């Protein structure tokens, strides 16, 4: 244990893997195999088992137990009385061969009294509301609440604000499209003609839509609590139109993130390559039409947000 570590006299600390300047308060128990990073603050009445890794600058409030299999990234906040689990079917005196690994990734926050089921991943920067019961993995920067937890929004980061944008803006109507705070992403408004015989909306490829598509797909009958997308493309361009109902689109370029409401067939959002896209808040009747510039290619998908951020970083270094 490093000499800069502060340990209260009532704490029972068996591990020597505790980083610099960490502070451990009253009646904390840390078993021998646990690894604790630098500048960690562990409040009173916490228990940390052997197969636990805690990153740097983590705050663990009172009454939290960290069980075997838990991996906590840097800058994580864990509120008071948060409950972690590591066995889906626990029985007294019957132990699994290996406990499920649960990951809380860097920058995530977990509110007081939340319950995290085993084997899930809480993504980078995610926010878990107080009392939420997390039964499935949470995407990066998502806000989840309730039992079972469901996504209700996406959080801000230090470098960007998450903003809901209504595309029926007069500037967009006049110019046809407008740039956003997300690199390369544009909002578009098409010609919209109302008629007693029926309404008409029309757009032209390579004019109104900035590429010629080779593929389209429709997303519909999505339960309101479900989230689609959650990936980026290396080379494929996409254009999204909610032709019926409404849904929200979150675009993320690795630095800035913005949320857009699609609620008219006369409006759409363009996502260039290397844009992380997420769609959620589907109305029960929503039909989302997506045009893609290329044929389906599984190798073009980036499905891991950490990989996406790393590719963005490498791309910026090479430019």
List residues with catalytic annotation. Answer: 231
**In contact, 127 and 140? CB cutoff 8 Å:** no
């Amino acid at each position: 244990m490093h000499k800069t570590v502060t340990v209260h006299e009532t704490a029972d600390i068996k591990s020597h893997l505790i980083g610099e300047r960490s502070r451990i308060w009253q009646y904390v128990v840390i078993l021998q195999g646990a690894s604790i990073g630098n500048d960690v603050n562990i409040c009173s009445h916490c228990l940390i088992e052997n197969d636990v890794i805690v990153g740097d600058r983590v705050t663990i409030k009172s009454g939290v137990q960290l069980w075997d299999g838990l991996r906590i990234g840097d800058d994580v906040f864990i509120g008071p009385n948060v409950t972690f689990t590591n066995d889906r079917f626990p029985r007294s005196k019957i132990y699994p061969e290996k406990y499920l690994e649960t990951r809380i990734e860097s920058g995530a926050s977990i509110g007081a009294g939340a319950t995290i089921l085993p084997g899930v991943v809480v993504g980078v920067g995610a926010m878990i509301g107080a009392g939420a019961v997390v039964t499935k993995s949470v995407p990066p920067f998502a806000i989840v609440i309730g039992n079972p937890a469901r996504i209700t929004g996406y959080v801000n980061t230090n470098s960007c604000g998450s903003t809901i944008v209504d595309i029926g803006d007069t500037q967009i109507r006049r110019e046809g499209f407008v740039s956003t705070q997300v690199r390369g992403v544009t909002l578009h408004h098409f010609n919209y003609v109302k008629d007693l015989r029926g309404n008409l909306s029309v757009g032209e490829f390579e004019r109104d839509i900035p590429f010629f598509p080779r593929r389209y797909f429709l997303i519909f009958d999505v339960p309101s609590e479900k989230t689609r997308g959650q990936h980026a493309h290396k080379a494929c361009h996409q254009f999204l139109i909610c032709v019926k109902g409404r849904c929200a689109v979150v675009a993320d370029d690795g630095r800035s993130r913005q949320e857009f409401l699609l609620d008219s067939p006369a409006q759409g959002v363009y996502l260039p390559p290397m844009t992380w896209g997420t769609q959620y808040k589907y109305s029960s009747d929503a039909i989302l039409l997506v045009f893609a510039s290329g044929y389906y290619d599984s190798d073009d998908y980036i499905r891991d947000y950490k990989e996406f951020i790393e590719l963005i970083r490498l791309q910026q270094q090479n430019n």
